[in-house]
Every structure is written in C-alpha cells, then in structure tokens.
Structure 1
Amino acid sequence: MSNDVTKSDGGAPMSPSGGRRRALLVATGVAGLTGVVGLAALGGLAARDNDKSGAPERVAENRVAAPQKASDGDKGAREDDKNKDKDKDARDRGEWDADGADHGKVREVPCDDDDLVEALDLANRDHGGTLKLAENCTYELDRKDRKFGAALPEIKQDITIKGNGSTIKRDSEDTFRIFRVVDGGELTLKDLTVKGGNATAFKYGGGPQVPGGPVAMGAPGAPVGQDSGSQGSGSWDNGKDKDKDKQGEGDGGALLVERGGSANLFKVKLTDNNAEENGGAIANFGRVRLEDSKVTDNHAREDGGGIFNEGVLKVKDSHVDDNTAGGNGGGIANGKGKKDDHDKNGYGNSSYGNSSYGKDGHDKDRKDRDEAGTVEITGSDHGKDSTKSTIENNKAGKNGGGLFSSGGTVTITLTVIKSNTACDSGGGIYAVDTDLKLDRVIVAKNHADKDGGGIVNTGGKDKKKDWSSNGGDNKERDNKESDATATISDSTIVENTANRFGGGIFNGDTDVKVEDGFKDDHEHGEDDNATLTLRDTEIKKNTALNGGGIFNNKGKVTLTNTHVTKNTATDTAKLHRVAGGVLNNEGKVKLDDKSTITNNDPTNCANTVEDCFD
C-alpha cells in the first residue's frame, strides 16, 4: 500500500518509507555483511519467542532483532527440507492440496509494500515459509531495487503467499516485473491478483523502441530499457552473468520462472502485465502449475501474450483470455520457433524484421529459445459442476491466435478454444513439429488471415532442393528431423474461418502453390511429415477460400467415426478444384466406414479424396 505524504508546500508526495527500505537492504547483507551473524541473524530473539508461543511472526513488529547462533538458525532445517521434498513429490503426482496447511515459519504481512519486501527477504533466509497478506489490501510497488531488478526479492526458497483477496501491483513509471523465481526456488500464490508488471530487457545506451506492440516501457519519452538495467542491471554492468540474463530479462511481466525454479498458482489473477519480449504475464523455463486461475489482458511484444513456456506448464480449470502478442501465441506460446519455420510460413526476411531477429543480431545467439517444453491444459468433468478451461479472445500478430507450439508436446482436454485471431495462420492453434493431442475440446469461431482458421498442424519442412552455402550444389534436405503429429478425439471444430485454406484445419506443408492448381492424386503420400488423426469428431460450418473443413497439403489425414459437414469454400475460380469439405493436395486422406463428408458447399472433396462422393 502506498504511504505517500504530501509535502507541506503542496508539492509532489514524498515517500517516508524509502529510508526503511534502504535500511533493510543494509541489515540483510546487501551492503556487504558477511559471516554467521551477518545473514543469519535477522529474525533472532523475537522470532524464537514467537516460535515458542506458536503465534505467527508479524513482520512489522520484528524489524530489529538480536544476533543468534548459527545452530539456532539451522534447527529444523533438515526437517523443513524433508517436508519440502515430500511436497514437491506430491505436486508432481498432482496430489498436492492447494488449501493445505501452512509450511515453515508463518508471517503476517501488514498492508504495506515495504513489509512485503521485508517478509520475502526473511523467508528467503529462513528456509522459506508462509506469508499471510492483509485481507483485501493493495500492495503498491512504486520502486525497484537494482540488486533484484524488481521491487520484490528473488524467490530462492519454498515460499507460499496467501493473498486473502489482495492485489500486488506495479504503481510506478519505472519498469519491473513482480516475481522472479530462481534455480531452487518454489513460489506458491493463493487467492491473489498480480497486476501491472512490466518486464524490459536491458540495452546498452538505450536505443530506439522495438516495433511490434503497444507496450508502455520506461519513463515517458525515454527509449526502451534506457531508464536503467531494468532486470538484473548489476549483472549486466559487471559482465559476469550475461548468459543468465539472456534467460528472460525481457520476459514474464508478472512472473519469471527460471530453470530449476517452480511456481504454483491457485485462484490467482494475472492481469494488465506486459513483456518487452516473451510472456506478457508468465515466462516459464522451469515448472509452472495454474489451477482455478485467470490470465487476462496481458501483452507480449514477441511471443506468448499470456504465457511463454519452455519448461513444464500445467493448466487446470483456468482461463487464458483476452491477451495479445506481437509475434506468435496470443494466449500461450510453447517455444519461439526457429527462424527457418517463420520464413517458410511466408514471412521471408521480414518475419522478425528489425525486431527480435534484426540486423544487429539481437537474439541470434539465443539457441535455448528454439526448444519448446510440455504443456498440459485440462478442465474438470463432474457433471453439472464441470468447469472447462478456456483460451478465448486472444490475438497474435503472427501465428497461433490462441496457442502456438514449435516442438515439444501439447495435450489439451475439456477446454474451449474460441474467438481467437491470428494475423497469419492458426487462428485457434498453430503447431509445428509438435506432438499435439486434443480430447473433448471445442475449437470454435477462431479466425486466421491466412491458413487454418481453427488449427494448423505442420511439419515445417518439405523434401525440396536447397542450395548449399558452399558452392551452390543442390542437396536433399532431410525431411525426417522432426514429426508433426496431431490427434483429435471426441471434439468439435466449428464455425472457424480462414482467408485462404483450411477453415477448420490445415494439415501439412504451409507453402501451397495455388498457381499450379490442385492435382487429382489420392496416393502421393506425405512429403511434409505431418500426420493428422481424427476420431469421433465433428468438423462443421467452417469457411475458407478452399478446403472449408480440412485442407491437406502433402500430409496424411485419417478419419475414424468423424463427420465433416456443412462447411463452405468461397473460391469461385475455375482454375483449380474447390472443396467445401476436404481438399487433398498431393497428400493422403483415409476414411473408415463410419466417417462421412457430406452437405458441404460447393463440393465435398472435388474428387481429391478417395471414397468421398460429391
């Protein structure tokens, strides 16, 4: 909570708590205290008295404490570590109770941002613990510390914050994210809103703003990142930890989870957060679990308007809605994708233009970003009490309006993917070289300006001749480096639209040569290495220029007890075949006896699919 006091002369407010913040940093060792007393002392006698009485520690009443022996500080540490390991095992098995008992030392945090900073610092140095925030309070963070690159200390231990309906928000022209979890840290948030975080990447000497998204960065009139080394300026200045800083300095407006770190969010709302790079609300390189939570109205200038993932992401009974990305994955991005993938999908040299892959070479050496992680999204199925997760009303400047994945594994069940928009392809989902599984999912009313109004499944590579860089020799490109496999079961793909091909689903090579026409070839095989399997699924009322229901280009599609009906192709050209249901171009489409392709306009398959009758 802001405690600003207006000056006697009626001038701007001044903050009486700034000195206390500086005094805290000195007391906790930032000024260079060493030895047993320096970092293990704070929380001494008063904390032990509270332990004896069984009462929680109130941070505001324990700012000054006597030194304690190292052995006192270590009492119970081994037991805490054992309990921590048990908790992690239970969480990995999905058995951990979000409303379980408090762990470690319990601290009640008054409605004051400095008390929150102090409580987190104490918990970090005391083997973790539980912080209970004041009920329905707004903790306004109005300044950052350059040691942490944020207003709050890095999370280094197992720390739980019980929000009690409170909000933690950035209330400053200064740019900083809210939470950062480092290797070995585990953060659990409950019943809390996290708002207004703004992650910016440090740039030497500032420089012009990066085009690509309307994100407010830094002080008015100042170049992006010039106001300081927003995140981790100290490590950039001394030049010792540049590799670490590449892992997310401009990522995760509300929360950054580094490799080896983890975060659990229960009944948490992340809103109005921004990232200059990836993950408007969350950037995850470790492990993140969301349950009964909302990720809404966040923005990333690059990928993952709501969430960017390269670790393990589990989402249950949650909503990722109304987020935007200048690049891929308006709602969620699982990996950034390789530059070749973007170029092949029609971006050419402007795919990343002068932004993330600009002429200055920014981001070219960030090879770790090419690897995707694992995403699991699910809802609950309890009859009348069922709760579907949602990915709705998100928008991507490039691919994957709802979700984008480049590599890795994505599993989605009991989820609604609706009304998302991609300015290129994959209005609902864009998956390249990904193991994609959908079960009991609704993909509805999504739009792509190019291909795949509902879903794009592509291998991203084709068996083509490619000129080598050492003399112009033709070499055959290896098409089997990666697989694109999509399995969709017991789902509905309905009322999606694409301005080009595949209103419902686009499968295969996205490099479609319209000028060559579409051949009558049922058995050409799959050159793109993209396999789509549909079981017990309906594809209906989707619209595209061609292939209203499904457009398959050099891929393989298998339909089992699946119905493609009432889809529309709007192309009136007579130069090539037009199919409202399924258009197969140089690929393979197989139907079982229980599958049907009927009542599509103007034709069902334009004679491009065996056993499909027009």
Structure 2
Amino acid sequence: MFTYQGNRRATPSRRRSRWFLAGGVVAGSLVVGAAGVTGVAALAADRAPGVTDQGQQAAAVRDDGPDGGQWTNEGAPGGPRRPEGRTEGADAPDGKPEGKPDGPGTRRPPLLTVPCDSARLVAALVQANAEGGATVRLAPKCTYTLSHAFQQPDEYDGGIRDAREAADAAETPGDAELPPRQPGDDNTGLPVIYQAITVEGSGATIARGENAETFRFFTVRDGGELTLRDVTLRNGRSTSEGGSVHVVHGATAVLERTTVVGSTSVSPKEGGGGVFNDGNMVVRESRFVGNSAAGAEGKGGGMLNGGVLTMTKTEFRDNSANGYGGGLANYRGAADIATTILAHNIAGQGGGLASFSARTKVEDTRVVDNTAKIGGGIANSDAVLVLRGLVVQGNTASGNGGGISSVQGLLPMDDSVVSGNHARGNGGGIFADRSNTLVRTSEVSGNAAVGAKSTGGGIYTVAGQLSLFKSKVVDNSATLPPGGIFADRAQVRVDDASVVIENRPTNCVGSKVTIAHCFR
C-alpha cells in the first residue's frame, strides 16, 4: 500500500519476508497437527519435494528490497539458487518465462508413491494439498490402519451448502432446524481434500482401528476433487453425514472399483453410513457392504445422495438404515443409476432404494431380497422415480408395498418385472398412494399381500392414477379380494393389450373402482 505526501508518492519501506520449513512441511495456511507432523516427518526420509531430512531446518529467503532479484537458500545445502539480477517470472535464456508451463493445462500433477505406512499416507496427502493436487499411489494390498483423527483446522467457512440450507429455512420456516455442528462431527482420519487428488489404491485398504476414536476417512471441501480407485475403506464412523466419505455441495468425487465396508453414520436425522454426497459424484464398479445409517431417522445405509450422482455397475449388499434407503437413499438430489444390484438391505422405508423429494432414474438394475416396513424393495415419496429394465424380486414389507411403494410421486415403469414380493399390508407387488403410476411393457406376477386384512396382491392404488400398457398382472394373491388390482378413489386405465388373469381370490372383483379389461 502506498501513501501520498503532497504530489509525491512515498518510497515503500524495505521489507524482508521469510518462509521456513522446519522438520516437515508448512504449506499455505494448512497447519499440521500431531498426526500430520508425524506423517510429514516420516515422508521426509524419502526426501519428497520441499521436504528436508528429519530434524534439519531449511529456510528460503527472498529479499524484497529495492535492489531486488536476489534469491538464496539458507540452510539447504545443494539447493537451487536463482541467478542474481533475475526476478521471478523473468524470461529464461530460451525466451520462455522461467518456471511457467508452455501453456494452459500443461501441468501434470506429481505422482507420490506411498510405502505401507499410515503416517506416510497422511504426509503424502498433506503434500498433495500443498502442491495444488497430486496422484497418490498406495502400496499394493497394504492395509493402512488409522488410530486417531488427523489434527488440523478445517478451513471450511460454511460454503454453498450452508447458504442453500439458509435459503431453504427461509422458504419453509416451519421445518425443524438441525442442531449446530460440533467440531468433532467432521473428524477425519486423513487430511481434508481441497485440491484435485487421486488415490490409486492398487488393492490397498484404509481402515479405522477397532478401538480408535470416531472419524471418517475423507472430507472433500468446496473446490476439492477426490478420485478413489481400487481401494477399500473399512470401519469408518462419523457423528454426522458420511461414515467413510463426505462430499460437500461445491466438491466433486469419483469412486472407481472402490469398496466401502462396515462404516457407520450415527447422525440422528441424516446418514450415509458409507458415503454422503452433496456435490457431484460418479461411482463405477464399486461395492457398499455392511454399512449403516444408525441414527434414529438415518438415511442411506450404503450411501445418502443430496447432490448429483451418476452410478454404474455397483453393488449394495447387507446395508441398513433406520429411516429410509437401506442400500441407497436419494434425498433432494438427482441420481442416475444403471446396471446396479441392491440386495439384502434393510430400512424403515425402501429396503434397497429410497427416492424422497428427489429425481431418480434407475435402469437395468436388480433390487432383490431387501426388507423394510414400507416399500420392501423401493420407496418413492414426493419424488419422480423412473424405472426401466428392472427386476424387483423377493422383497418383503411388514407394511405396504412388498416390491415398490410410491406416495405422492410419479412412477413410470418400463420393461420391468416385479415378482415374488410379499407385504403384510396392502400391495404385494406395488403400493401407490396419491401417485401417478404408469406400467408399460412390464410384468407384475407372483406377489402376495399376506396380512389378515391385506388386499391388492399385485397392485394397490388409492387416490391417484394407474395406467397399464401392454403389461401383465398375473398369478398374484391376497388375503382379501382382489388378488390382482385394487383401486379406491383412483383413475385406472388398462389397455386392451394388457392381461390381468389368474390372480387369487379374484382378479379385480372387490376393487372399489371398476377396472376395464379385468375379468373377475
């Protein structure tokens, strides 16, 4: 800053600034705590860029005085020395600016190879953040066990998500506010991701120790980009969203051939036992096994999505949620899911999959052998759920909707099979309440509504619309008639290319609305 005296600008005072690297790395505003210092010191033994031997002090000194242009490296023997008289960014002898790439986008992120040592993994991620991103390659088949949370101040200042939540609160002032976040809610075993960082797992595992304090592995903050490839995350635990991974609204993550196993969120009303995404996420060829959203109203045992999600060739198995979405919950997000398996998951609603206040498209996917109170396989509420090429089979509901439940939603289903599902309430195959349900070139067969007062073994619809085009409702059963289709205060259309036969005790007799093209 310059000051003026009369018409003359004052000469800036001579000032010397120093940066010190002492026993590790100090980068930007990142402060390494107890866990980080250990890791950085360990990495120093490998003489990573910018890190000296353990215990040796190095200082880079820049002289900003009027004679300028002089750079030295004090205490760093053999270190590079900038020629006197050349300022930073000046042209090199070949005519190109010194220290600058040839053009935009030409910088390659450094590759950091990490031996089978947890402290060195921490140090490598510290360095990756400090250098503006990197690829971190783990030791093949190694297990990196973390025993305590990484101590660092989280530079997150609220960001986009908090602004969005504030806007939501203004729109719906009657909604209950969540309790304020505590610092421990976002404990991580590894440094927070602020840059573009890829972790090449090579079959390695990152695990939280059995008696370790509560922490997840990764938090990705606004602007951060995390790619996990060929790695297993085991036994993460968080008191807020995301037992292993938490991606905020302005961040990006990619999971490729990644397994998330045995992780837990104990957030009372949120969840994401394995992963929580509020940003932009791509998941390919990955597995979510044995994770839990254990809070009283926890959502998404394997994953909770509140952002934009694209998923292919992924498996959710043996996950659980006390609220909804035992395998996967999409809450106020947008999700495109293809060639995925959701099996043996458990929830209050939507044993395999739940779509609540969201837009969800699912294609070529199997939803099998899941259990819930409502919607044994799938639950849809106040949302758009598009199903194409699905197999919804062998799911069980202790209430309504053995295969699928939809409440105040839009449910178009094409080229799909809903079979062998059971409900102790109504709608052994499909239960629809105040919903628009379209069943096209699909089959609803072999489902059962088995409670003492259950009806609508194939389809039960109330106060909405049901349309069948070129579809079959066959061989379903219910305790009370009809066993095929039950409708009450609903508009029902069955085209003449559809078949409703061989349901027990009747096909449509007993429905409160007359259903055309349905005989007895």
Aligned mates of 2:290, 2:52 — CA distance in 1: 34
Equivalent position of 1:552 in the other structure: 461
Residue 159 of structure 2 aligns with which residue?
A: none
Paired residue type of 2:134: G
Matches within 5 A, 1:165-564: 165-171=203-209, 172-200=211-239, 250-277=240-267, 278-301=271-294, 302-335=298-331, 372-379=332-339, 389-396=340-347, 398-422=348-372, 424-459=373-408, 484-508=409-433, 528=434, 530-544=435-449, 545-564=454-473
Tell me by how many angstroms 1:146 deviates.
3.8
For 2:57 and 2:411, the matched residues in 1 are separated by 60
Distance of 2:61 and 2:438 partners within structure 1: 64
How far apart in 2 are the matches of 1:606 and 1:83? 71
Name the structure with the higher helix share: 1
Cα deviation, residue 376, structure 1:
1.1
> Does the 8 Å CA contact 1:46/1:62 hold for their aligned counterparts?
no
Q: What one-letter code is carried by the residue in structure 1 that aligns with 2:280?
A: R
Change (3 A) 1:588 1:61: farther
Tell me if the contact between 2:52 and 2:58 (Cα under 8 Å) persists in the aligned partners. no
Cα-Cα RMSD: 2.8
Structure 2 spans left out of the alignment, 5+ residues: 1-21, 34-42, 63-87, 90-97, 155-186
* SS state at 2:299 partner: coil
Paired amino acid for 1:334: N
Note the C-alpha offset of 1:408: 1.6
Change (3 A) 1:107 1:602: same
Aligned partner letter, 2:447 = N
Residues 448-488 of structure 1: CA deviation (Å, up to 9, x unaligned): 111001111111xxxxxxxxxxxxxxxxxxxxxxxx21110
What per-residue deviation string (whole Å, max 9, x for no partner) do you get for residues 497-543 of structure 1?
Answer: 110100000112xxxxxxxxxxxxxxxxxxx3x10111110000000
Q: 1:492, 1:538 within 8 Å by CA — same for their partners in 2?
A: yes
Q: Which runs of 4+ in 1 moved over 3 A?
A: 22-33, 45-49, 59-72, 74-80
Alpha-carbon shift at residue 75 of structure 1 (Å): 4.7
| Structural mapping, 1:68-217, within 5 Å | 75=99, 82=105, 103-147=108-152, 149-171=187-209, 172-200=211-239
2:517 corresponds to which letter in structure 1?
D
1:365-384 CA distance string (max 9 Å, x none): xxxxxxx10111102xxxxx
- Name the residue aligned to 1:211: none
User: 1:404 and 1:31, CA in 2 relative to 1: closer, same or farther beyond 3 A?
Assistant: closer
**Secondary structure of the corresponding residue to residue 367 of structure 2:** strand
Amino acid at match of 2:377: G
Q: What count of residue pairs does the alignment treat as equivalent?
A: 409
Q: Which amino acid aligns with 1:273?
A: S
Q: 1:266 to 1:83 in 2, by over 3 A?
A: farther
Which protein has the bigger strand share?
Answer: 2
The SS at the match of 1:164 is strand
Distance 1:127 1:281 in 2: 27
Q: Is the 8 A contact 1:77 1:127 kept in 2?
A: no
For residues 119 and 31 of structure 1, do their structure 2 counterparts lie closer, same or farther at Cα, with a shift above 3 Å needed? closer
Structure 2 residue identity aligned to 1:176: F
Query: Is structure 2 residue 508 aligned with structure 1 residue 605?
Result: yes
| Residue ranges of structure 1 left out of the alignment (5+ in a row) | 1-21, 34-41, 50-58, 85-102, 201-249, 336-371, 380-388, 460-483, 509-527, 572-577
Match of 1:99 in 2: none
The 1:27/1:539 distance shift into structure 2, 3 A limit, reads closer
CA offset at residue 604 of structure 1? 0.2
Cα distance change of structure 1 residues 27 and 588 upon mapping to structure 2, 3 Å threshold? closer
Q: Deviations over 1:37-83 (max 9, x none)?
A: xxxxx99x96669xxxxxxxxx99899785568969x9558967x47
Counterparts of 1:560-575 in structure 2 under 5 Å? 560-571=469-480
CA distance in 2, matches of 1:282, 1:496: 28
Contact 2:496 2:517 survives alignment (8 Å): no
Cα deviation for residue 433 of structure 1 reads 1.4
Instruction: Kindly indicate whether the alpha-carbon contact (under 8 Å) linking 2:24 and 2:54 is maintained by their aligned counterparts in 1.
Output: no
Q: Distance in 1 between matches of 2:509 and 2:61?
A: 83
**Secondary structure in structure 2 of the residue aligned to 1:117:** helix
> What's the CA shift for 1:593?
1.3
**Matched residues in 2 for 1:123 and 1:76: separation?**
19
With over 3 angstroms needed to count, the CA separation of the structure-2 counterparts of 1:167 and 1:65, relative to structure 1, is: farther
State the Cα distance separating 1:611 from its structure 2 match: 2.5
Q: Could you tell me which amino acid in structure 2 is paired with residue 298 of structure 1?
A: N
TM-score, with length taken from structure 1: 0.63
1:438 CA displacement? 0.7
Q: Is the contact made by 1:408 and 1:435 (CA closer than 8 Å) also made in structure 2?
A: yes
Cα distance, 1:145 vs structure 2: 2.7
Aligned 8 A contact 2:265 2:292 in 1? yes
Computing the radius of gyration from Cα coordinates, the structure with the larger value is 2
| Contact 1:160 1:188 (8 Å CA) reproduced | yes
Cα distance in 2 between the residues matched to 1:32 and 1:564: 63
Identical amino acids, percent of aligned pairs: 35
Query: TM-score w.r.t. structure 2 length?
Result: 0.74
**Paired amino acid for 2:199:** I
Quick one: distance in 2 between partners of 1:62 and 1:163? 27
Match for 2:227: what amino acid? T
